[in-house]
Amino acid sequence: NAGVTQTPKFQVLKTGQSMTLQCAQDMNHNSMYWYRQDPGMGLRLIYYSASEGTTDKGEVPNGYNVSRLNKREFSLRLESAAPSQTSVYFCASSDTNPGQFFGSGTQLSVL
Amino acid sequence: QKEVEQNSGPLSVPEGAIASLNCTYSDRGSQSFFWYRQYSGKSPELIMFIYSNGDKEDGRFTAQLNKASQYVSLLIRDSQPSDSATYLCAVPALSGSARQLTFGSGTQLTVLP
């Protein structure tokens, strides 16, 4: 039982390149989330999916797109990476039990 | 005013002491409160949650709610060096789905041996 799995763990991009961060959960949770975490800023919600087939913008959605591929998988895409997107990205999931459960994170650097 | 505010610290306490971490929230109608622990370079881990109807104790950890002053506290008794981490407070978001959380920026705790 792996919980929430994110890939890759580290990534370096050049400005303008694109990439997709993958997230999968095996807890049969309905809701999934993508956050970014910057020093001193806490966790900021990028996008979330309350249930399979739905996605909504969070606090900082600009420059990102998401896809809820199925109940297990929720991907985050950067179409044209910018240095301001250098951050640590976390995927999380939740269901009827309180709280959200996080993946191990992706450290992304955009040069 | 931010929805959730925490003193960023760092907060240093000696081993064996009580560490007290506070979090203020803006929505008087918040019904649940969450504490996450995040070790350096790791992901947040849920350690406590309480509802607005009362405090909660779990081992060395106690979460207390002060509704009148709109803050929630996390007390760590008999602090250990392994408790050194950043502690994030979270409350349900004001907008969006009921399961969204808004996080504070965290308080960095160091327990000195």
Q: What is the pLDDT of residues A11-65, one digit of tens each?
A: 999 999 999 999 999 999 999 999 999 987 789 999 999 889 899 999 899 999 9
Q: How far apart, in whole angstroms, are the C-alpha atoms of residue A3 and residue A37?
A: 20
| Cβ contact, residue pair A98, B105, below 8 Å | no
Nearest one of B13, B5, B15, B2 to B71, comparing CA atoms: B5
Which of B97, B107, B108 has the most A C-beta neighbours within 10 Å, making it the best mutation to test the interface with A?
B97
* Partner A, chain B 42-61, Cβ-Cβ below 8 Å: 42-46, 49
- Residue A83 DSSP label: G
Judge whether B55 and B62 are in contact, CB under 8 Å. yes
Q: How far apart, in whole angstroms, are the C-alpha atoms of residue A75 and residue B42?
A: 20
- Print pLDDT tens along chain B (113 aa): 668 999 878 999 999 999 999 999 998 888 889 999 999 999 999 999 998 888 999 999 999 999 899 999 999 999 999 999 999 999 988 665 657 889 999 999 999 99
Phi and psi of A85, rounded to 5°?
Answer: -90, 5
Residues in chain B within 8 Å Cβ distance of A100: 46, 99, 101
Q: Cα–Cα distances in Å, from A101 out to A97, B18, B72?
A: 10, 27, 21
Residues in chain B: 113
